[in-house]
Structure 1
Amino acid sequence: MTKPIYIPLRLHTEFSITDGTVRIKDVVKKAAAIGVPALGISDLMNTFGLVKFYKACRGAGIKPVMSADVWVENPEATDKPFRAVLIAQNDEGYRRLSELLTAAYVGEDRNPDHAELRQAWLAEGDNTGLICLSGAHYGEVGAHLMNGHPEAARAAAQKYAAWFPNAFYLELQRLPERPQWEVAVAGSVEIAGELDLPIVATHPVQFLNSEDFQAHEARVCIAGGWVLADKKRPHDFSPSQFFVAPEVMAERFADLPEALENTVEIAKRCNLTLTLGKNFLPLFPTPDGMSLDDYLVQLSNEGLQERMVQLYPDEAERAEKMPEYQARLDFELKIIIQMGFPGYFLIVQDFINWAKNNGCPVGPGRGSGAGSLVAYALKITDLDPLKYALLFERFLNPERVSMPDFDIDFCQSNRGRVIEYVREKYGANAVSQIVTFGTMSSKAVIRDVGRVLELPFGLCDRLSKLIPLETNRPVSLDKAMEMEPEIKQLIENEDAGELIELAKKLEDLTRGLGMHAGGVLIAPGKISDFSPVYQADESASPVSMYDKGDVEDVGLVKFDFLGLRNLTIIEMAQENIKKTVGETVDVNTIPLDDQAAYKIFRDANTTAVFQFESTGMKKMLKTAHTTKFEELIAFVSLYRPGPMDNIPDFVARMKGQAFEYIHPLLEPVLEPTYGIMVYQEQVMQAAQVIGGYSLGGADLLRRAMGKKKPEEMVKHREIFAKGAEEKNIPRQKADEIFDYMEKFAGYGFNKSHAAAYALISYQTAWLKAHYPAEFMAATMSSELDNTDQLKHFYDDARANGISFLPPDINESDYLFTPNSQKQIRYALGAIKGTGEGAVASIIEARRQGGKFSGLLDFCERVGKEHMNRRTLEALIRGGAFDSIEPNRAMLLANIDLAMNNADQK
């Protein structure tokens, strides 16, 4: 191989968010094509794309050089920070870079106006794993040179050289359009000679090809809110900032060959290997120095004893059932310990039990976790997996080692409290949420580019609306133009060719940052040892700089904290019941065979009942005659595209239509679903019963069937037929069963998930059946801002015999409140134009001084801080003063008088 002459070290990818349009895969492909042996990434103040870059380079046989382009504090002019590039040479350097970036966003000493590195941090910390490039004309040395202060530049170079011993390079950049940069180049070369410092040549890459400049400028304008034609907008970038070949740089720096040689030298010095695919769990504190394994065994056995008393109050029946439960518990514990996951189970049970003991409702389970008896014993889930034939191997498979993943539903309004508990337990710097990257979809990019090109809004709006959706996502621009001829026509008629050309180049690029809905990371030690942490502002939550896939790659373990509105509704309903009838109701202890609850389903009276609210669901329920919980589980699973076709057959069999099992051995597996395969677990059990698979192997078969991999299917068909043959099942019948399983594996539902969600459905139906006013008041309180939904629930409540009392400043609260006469008092918070603060001040004034006697009294006592003219008008028009003075027009006419009077008082 020829000796490399230059290594590109400066590259802003699309993850620089505001000023790069380079897609990582494309640049790596181009680098490989021109034979570049190493490549550097240096996104601006972040490492969002670093893991993706590392994997892409490694995959293409290129050495990745990982760095960040950073802002460094300028003590003389705080709004004009300097630039530098910090390159990680090794693991220590990576952690140091991560620590510095984290401090810039979430540290106590950070600059609140913009993220930058404090000079004190660079001076005080250990930088031995880092290489620093001076930042060319934007760095402290270069900026002083450009401003004609060579002495200050020299002092700055000495300072950085002391911070980064033998690892500080004076950076030189030349672009054809920027001859003025030569001042910084010449000055830096002179200082390098005087102080015996190395020089290095870099080329700032912002876009991939020369023809992408205009698209890059459009991106900069989209991010900054400018328009392309604006002469006054910043013009910081040049047409030559594309990815150039080494020969171009060799020619450009022919007079300074050592500046090129040093790019190769730097690449040689960098040997950072990321540890990918290994999990690092936080350490869970156990009592008396017990091992994690022993503590898990102890807690699980204690929990099982408690659960068995609830499940089987009769002692004799309990003693008879115990061996079966104990055997399943021991089997699961053995696998959990063997796979090294006791810590994971202990961490999850700890924060779930804290939530349950501290008034934060938790869902009964979700996803495949409900198939674990250990999880049930530890109170992570609330469904007995043996009763509903839920399989542990669907959750944890000893034949395919992957991290367990409990998806946990918390009551929406208390979820933050649980995350706060985890922060306190493991330390704030060990806990963060996860970043997500919003992209410019075809629909959005048309509008964005149209704005920066100053095209008529109507045209962009029409074009954007013409783009078809597939599975709720807009199709690509190319596909949209094929599918919708009107787009092409409109572009030709309106001469909007440039719009489409730029939009195609920017389509699907990262546009902004968000936060993963449920994922919370807990690290052993600091998150920043694995990933830098980003925080948008004071009020935002800290998030990892790596997205969900990348944090899992670097070994951080994600715990899912999901918010579920229905848990909040159940909690509010239970509180309402306590207030109206003085009873303490806990839906987790209600019997699952209450026919009053099933009548709600039989009558399709399921508005506000979780998972059963849609018109299609109601139509299905009208034909079915639901009497038991297993049927609810099946309906949750069947009511989806694909399985829906089986609903008429399922309902007919439910009602007694005769049917045959595909094979007698499958009767115990298919009996709960009347001979129809509905769940993924049934596919697994069928593989076990007919094909002789272990349940672990059966899960691998289910996955292969779901992914429709032909070569794997051929292999499995033979294994299955061989197992069937041992049970005297002929090949033809074995193939028929295999085909039947394959059909259902594609859209079979996870029974553990369906069962857990059916339980919440049943609980909401039970509340609606027995405490309709309390339940509907809670449901309506959860939708205060949604007038359409409120109307829908209001009509349903009245159809269920509930009457409404009007809003009243002397009686109403912020939320809807029921009473024991099946009446609901309308909420002040549901009157458009009021707010929580205003209503709180009304209730506080009422608490302190009793009921209001009139408008003057009201204005005097509530005070002006939360009560303005608009809020007062909204309350009067909404009828909240009718009980004091029914003449609304008179009250509206006297608002100014009342408010002025209150001011004088």
Structure 2
Amino acid sequence: MHLTCHTAFSLRFGVLMPDQLVSKAAAWGVSCLALADANSTSCAVEFVSRCRAAGIKPILGISFWRDGQWLYTGLARNAEGWRELCAFLSKYSLEKKPLPTVPPPLPDCWIIYPRLCKPIQDFRKNELLGIRPQHVNRLFSHELRHHQHKLVVLAPVVTITDEDYSRHRVLRAIDLNTVHTKLTPRDLAQRGDRLLPPDTLHQFYKSYPDILRNTQRIIDSCEADFPTGLRINRQTFTGSKAGDYALLEKLALAGVTRRYPAGARFQRARLRVERELAVIRKQDFCSYFLITHDIVRYARAAGYQHVGRGSGANSIVAFSIGISDVDPIELDLYFERFINPYRASPPDFDIDFSWDERDDVIDYVFKRYGQDHTALLATYSTFKGRAALREVAKVYGLPKEEIDLLVRSPHDRAATDPKAAEVLKIAVGIIGLPNHLGIHAGGIIITERPIHYHTAQRLMPKGFPVAHCDMYHAEDMGLHKYDVLSQRGLGHIRSAVDLIKRNRGAAVDVYDLDKVKNDPKVRAMLKSGRAIGCFYIESPAMRGLLTKLGCDNYVHLVAASSIIRPGVAKSGMMKEYIRRYHYPHSFEYIDPVFKEHLGETFGVMVYQEDVMKIVHHFAGLDLDESDVLRRIMSGKKHNGDTFDRLREKFFAGAQVRGRDPEKAKEVWRQVESFSGYSFCKAHSASFAVESFQSLYLKAHYPLEFIVGVINNFGGFYKTEFYVHEARMAGATIHAPCVNRGRYLTELQGKDLYLGFIHVKSIAERTIFQLLSERERNGPFQSLTDCCARLDLDGSQLDLMIRVGAFRFTGKTKSELLWEKNAVFNPRSKREASHELFELAAPQQYFHLDLSPNHRSGHQLSAEQLDQAFDELELLGFPLCSPFSLVKPANETTAPGQEAALPAKAHQHVNGWGSPGQAGALATATDHSYLTIRAYFVCDKIVRTVKGERMSFGCWLDENGHYLDTVHFPDSLSTSPFQGPGVYRLRGRVAREFGFPSLEVAEMERLAYLGDLRFG
């Protein structure tokens, strides 16, 4: 008779996960539970499933709260009642209105009030008043005893034990951002709001059997009609299933003719299309394909680029109708990896759009399929480790210093401090509980009936409704997920194509994939690892792998995109693959099946599909069964009878085919150990297509491409290193300029003007005011002219002067700051327009020595140095060589060392290095020792097999070229990284498959000159 049960999805209020609540209730013989989370429907499907499995009758409801106060609870009598409750909660969330004190008529629901909010005589037929166990005795002298037909048992469930209540108090304090000692009874559930055995609960109401009978009547009238399965998805695209199949068949057959020229390959593709169509129709996925195609069709009509990836790229139907650009015939991709009769979870397409175009595509989906049928999926951020410990420590009032000590060594502190021990105990207790609701990266659900039959919606800051369920609950319901995702790589490509068209008048077709993948310049860049800015292949590790492989084609790039992943690399398969790649005759295949089906990857299982191939061809498992086995080993399905049955079938099938038993055991060992680390080949293939498109643009239009990367806010590296890449490609780098610059970075010929967006602390209002005035009335003639025409804040004007935006005037920064003091008058408001006569700066206010001797030599160098430090502060990096900012060092090799240092690069204000100069390690011999200066780019910390920390570093040398370092545990402990800057490195040169790196023995960060901010 618990009609209001809270789980942990009553965020920062409840403490019980659904399994805890249901298992305890079952142990105590509870026959019915009503879920009524606070303004949440998140765990409805899980709650119903667990209750039915435990033999408990589930009832679905919602507790409606406003400003931390419980208004009423609604219980659904049936599916219509659940829809009414979800729609009511959603309406007020989406309209950003507070919930009303009294709900509207909800005919298929029971409404239970926790207190009298209106005379009981005015209650509607379906409205009831809850009586708590501790309040029952008050009825003896209260007029409510005459209205027992309107009274029900109100025994809310928030906790089970006293420890649960302690966690509840902490969660409430976290939610209210206060210390737990300041909580009031109004902020908390009552101590008696806990699960009780049925006999105990009945005992409270024994004097009022009518209340018990009334409560049972309510329970008997409710049924949790919660539909699940594929039927709850949008059933058709055209209006009928026959129409859907006819349209999909038409699009697929037309597409395969367009994708493949006449010949044997076309015939093979046509047969596979027909086979896939039969499976898609049988599995009832026609509408899923057509809706995904519709989303892509809209995006293309709007001029948006997309990448169709994920397991969906295994489908030739997806390739034919334009969802994906990965050719499954070319790469021998298995359709069964995507759809097969044994797959319990629905398939999904991952469709990537540019980060600044995705929201428009999502908006189309909502408008096309209706907000009542569409929602984004949620994610639930949970309390985790150290963050949970910090949160609990704060509500216990610990000062920051003590919190830091506690987080650093929690068990040591807990052993000596009882309060720390209590904090740690509570923190451990809330780990894993949901903290707040967020938005899934791009999952969208589209339902057949209105979405409120399944879940409520909540309006998120982006303006789209989000369902009260995450991808796991959606999968449990049987909902298909349409992944409309975003990435910056597509933005790089789009911006570069637009800039090429604007600057050069050339139209570039990056979808001519045969041309892109076979371009000689592209293949040469790929082979040498010159991939800075290119999607997925620009990281130091990936560029190193490409160089080691000498990778110069699409197929091998697909493999490289997979073996770089941590699991494959950690298992040792990456190194083995590289060895076999270079020495293909140095090994023997374990079985002819490996040579026949894994010859492309030299007998190494690189992809998830490889697991399917081997168990299918070696032991005879069906392809769909092979996919089930892959999913089990990847942790996507529960191990159990299915796994044991498939293992037995594998060995039985191997025996039938005459395989050697020991060889069969070894193959199974490899499959079992590798499958969890593998990567979907279709994923790799999709990434590789986009990598080739990026490489093509970089090979032929390097400056436009890099500006596209910068204007989409980079990728793996900071903006500084994309600016450096443009410099190395021949660009002259300029600081933002009031006459030539724009909000984003601008390319004019080979002159690259950084955008004002990169200047820290500058306001968008200032930038847009400046650009608008310049557009209306022409360039600014001087600082004085700018001050006359713009209504600027003094600090904003200082930022522009300091970053160099007025250097067109020919005056130094010091002179401009003097002039600004003389002409800038913020109290003088004037209309922004040209003066009739140009105003000169009033020189009588100041005087500087502008003689040639003063403007050159040592003073000029000081000005440049000061400018560099201002750029460091405002842009995050200097536009000159960073090596010119450190104290001079006379680095020479020690006696007996074999290699000489590279020649020093010419230092100049605009940058350093040129493509013609050799990198620091390019000419060094193996095992030679070098002492060099290098500029820090990034590093990656990893753990050795012993659990020790080691690092891989990436640097720029004095010639502007990248170099890689290895820091073994001993070296890293004695010479740790100390943040950005120029370092002196000493170490031994090592080469692996022709790729050089420096194994660092000693490392020292060098101090900057002349500025205390960066010394």
Q: Which residue of 1 aligns with 2:753?
A: 825
SS of alignment partner, residue 46 of structure 1: coil
- How much does 1:250 deviate? 3.5
- How much does 1:131 deviate? 1.5
Structural mapping, 1:161-176, within 5 Å = 161=124, 165=125, 167-175=126-134
SS of alignment partner, residue 377 of structure 2: strand
Which moves more between the two structures, 404-413 or 237-246? 237-246
1:534 aligns with 2:458: yes
CA deviation vs aligned residue, 1:158-216 (integer Å, no higher than 9, x gap): 4332xxx3x332321243xxx7x9778954624516xxx33212123332213433332
Q: Which residue of 2 aligns with 1:564?
A: 487
The CA RMSD measured in Å over matched residues stands at 2.9
Q: Which residue of 1 aligns with 2:719?
A: 790
**Gap change, CA 1:392 and 1:766, over 3 Å in 2:** same
- How much does 1:572 deviate? 0.8
Provide the C-alpha distance between the structure 2 equivalents of 1:173 and 1:686, rounded to a whole number of angstroms: 64
- For the 8 Å contact 1:596–1:769, the answer to whether it is kept is yes
* Aligned residue among 248, 252, 275 for 1:331: 275
**Gap change, CA 1:263 and 1:837, over 3 Å in 2:** same
- How much does 1:20 deviate? 2.3
What is the aligned-residue identity percentage? 28
Structural mapping, 1:344-355, within 5 Å = 344-355=288-299
Q: Which residue of 2 aligns with 1:592?
A: 517
Q: Which residue of 2 aligns with 1:476?
A: none
Provide the C-alpha distance between the structure 2 equivalents of 1:83 and 1:747, rounded to a whole number of angstroms: 50
* Aligned residue among 114, 122, 130 for 1:136: 114
Provide the C-alpha distance between the structure 1 equivalents of 2:729 and 2:68, rounded to a whole number of angstroms: 66
Q: Which residue of 2 aligns with 1:122?
A: 104
CA deviation vs aligned residue, 1:283-337 (integer Å, no higher than 9, x gap): 55439997111111011111122222xxx4xxxxx23432111101101111101
Which moves more between the two structures, 771-780 or 260-269? 260-269
SS of alignment partner, residue 123 of structure 2: helix
CA deviation vs aligned residue, 1:353-374 (integer Å, no higher than 9, x gap): 11022122201x2211111110
Unaligned runs of 5+ in 2: 832-1015
**Gap change, CA 1:399 and 1:451, over 3 Å in 2:** closer
The TM-score normalised by the length of structure 2 is 0.76
Q: Which residue of 2 aligns with 1:403?
A: 346
- How much does 1:488 deviate? 2.7
1:499 aligns with 2:476: no
- How much does 1:727 deviate? 5.0
Provide the C-alpha distance between the structure 2 equivalents of 1:429 and 1:118, rounded to a whole number of angstroms: 25
1:341 aligns with 2:264: no
**Gap change, CA 1:889 and 1:329, over 3 Å in 2:** same
- For the 8 Å contact 2:534–2:695, the answer to whether it is kept is yes
Q: Which residue of 1 aligns with 2:796?
A: 871
SS of alignment partner, residue 375 of structure 2: strand
Equivalent position amino acid for 1:223 in 2: D
Q: Which residue of 2 aligns with 1:471?
A: none
Which moves more between the two structures, 293-302 or 231-240? 231-240
**Gap change, CA 1:351 and 1:712, over 3 Å in 2:** closer
1:384 aligns with 2:327: yes
1:764 aligns with 2:699: no
Equivalent position amino acid for 1:88 in 2: A
* Aligned residue among 584, 588, 597 for 1:669: 597
Equivalent position amino acid for 1:596 in 2: K
- For the 8 Å contact 1:100–1:117, the answer to whether it is kept is no
Q: Which residue of 2 aligns with 1:652?
A: 579
Provide the C-alpha distance between the structure 1 equivalents of 2:476 and 2:731, rounded to a whole number of angstroms: 54
Q: Which residue of 1 aligns with 2:834?
A: none
- For the 8 Å contact 2:237–2:290, the answer to whether it is kept is no
Q: Which residue of 2 aligns with 1:686?
A: 614
- For the 8 Å contact 1:280–1:524, the answer to whether it is kept is yes
Equivalent position amino acid for 1:90 in 2: N
Structural mapping, 1:80-95, within 5 Å = 83-95=71-83
The TM-score normalised by the length of structure 1 is 0.85
1:514 aligns with 2:438: yes
Q: Which residue of 2 aligns with 1:257?
A: 209
Structural mapping, 1:207-606, within 5 Å = 207-230=159-182, 234-282=186-234, 284-286=236-238, 291-308=243-260, 312=261, 318-363=262-307, 365-400=308-343, 402-466=345-409, 487-489=411-413, 492-493=416-417, 495-536=419-460, 540-589=463-512, 590-606=515-531
* Aligned residue among 187, 192, 196 for 2:147: 192
SS of alignment partner, residue 592 of structure 1: helix
Equivalent position amino acid for 2:826 in 1: N
SS of alignment partner, residue 67 of structure 1: strand
Q: Which residue of 1 aligns with 2:1004?
A: none
Equivalent position amino acid for 1:245 in 2: P
Q: Which residue of 2 aligns with 1:44?
A: 38
SS of alignment partner, residue 360 of structure 2: helix
SS of alignment partner, residue 378 of structure 2: strand
SS of alignment partner, residue 169 of structure 1: strand
Structure number with higher strand proportion = 2
1:159 aligns with 2:82: no
Provide the C-alpha distance between the structure 1 equivalents of 2:612 and 2:669, rounded to a whole number of angstroms: 14
SS of alignment partner, residue 742 of structure 2: coil
CA deviation vs aligned residue, 1:88-112 (integer Å, no higher than 9, x gap): 11112111111211112124xx62x
- How much does 1:873 deviate? 2.0
CA deviation vs aligned residue, 1:607-641 (integer Å, no higher than 9, x gap): 22222233322332332211211111111111123
- For the 8 Å contact 1:807–1:826, the answer to whether it is kept is yes
**Gap change, CA 1:807 and 1:235, over 3 Å in 2:** closer
Q: Which residue of 1 aligns with 2:846?
A: none
Equivalent position amino acid for 1:89 in 2: R
Which moves more between the two structures, 491-500 or 770-779? 491-500
* Aligned residue among 22, 26, 46 for 1:28: 22
Equivalent position amino acid for 2:144 in 1: V
- How much does 1:586 deviate? 2.3
1:882 aligns with 2:807: yes
- How much does 1:241 deviate? 2.7
* Aligned residue among 777, 780, 796 for 1:849: 777
- For the 8 Å contact 1:435–1:543, the answer to whether it is kept is yes
Which moves more between the two structures, 528-537 or 845-854? 528-537
**Gap change, CA 1:380 and 1:268, over 3 Å in 2:** same
* Aligned residue among 703, 720, 728 for 1:773: 703
Q: Which has the higher contact order (CA 8 A, sep 6+)?
A: 1
Provide the C-alpha distance between the structure 2 equivalents of 1:228 and 1:82, rounded to a whole number of angstroms: 20
Provide the C-alpha distance between the structure 2 equivalents of 1:735 and 1:216, rounded to a whole number of angstroms: 52
- For the 8 Å contact 2:29–2:197, the answer to whether it is kept is no
SS of alignment partner, residue 621 of structure 2: coil
**Gap change, CA 1:552 and 1:399, over 3 Å in 2:** closer
- For the 8 Å contact 1:70–1:117, the answer to whether it is kept is no
- How much does 1:252 deviate? 3.2
Q: Which residue of 1 aligns with 2:677?
A: 747
Which moves more between the two structures, 418-427 or 98-107? 98-107
**Gap change, CA 1:248 and 1:847, over 3 Å in 2:** same
Provide the C-alpha distance between the structure 2 equivalents of 1:703 and 1:551, rounded to a whole number of angstroms: 19
Provide the C-alpha distance between the structure 1 equivalents of 2:28 and 2:710, rounded to a whole number of angstroms: 63
Equivalent position amino acid for 2:109 in 1: L
Provide the C-alpha distance between the structure 1 equivalents of 2:816 and 2:400, rounded to a whole number of angstroms: 43
- How much does 1:464 deviate? 2.5
Provide the C-alpha distance between the structure 1 equivalents of 2:127 and 2:479, rounded to a whole number of angstroms: 32
- How much does 1:787 deviate? 13
Q: Which residue of 2 aligns with 1:203?
A: 155
Structure number with higher helix proportion = 1
Provide the C-alpha distance between the structure 2 equivalents of 1:211 and 1:383, rounded to a whole number of angstroms: 55
Which moves more between the two structures, 656-665 or 505-514? 656-665
Provide the C-alpha distance between the structure 2 equivalents of 1:796 and 1:648, rounded to a whole number of angstroms: 30
**Gap change, CA 1:735 and 1:289, over 3 Å in 2:** closer
Unaligned runs of 5+ in 1: 1-6, 73-78, 142-152, 313-317, 467-485
- How much does 1:594 deviate? 2.1
Q: Which residue of 2 aligns with 1:903?
A: 829
- How much does 1:26 deviate? 1.7
Equivalent position amino acid for 1:532 in 2: A
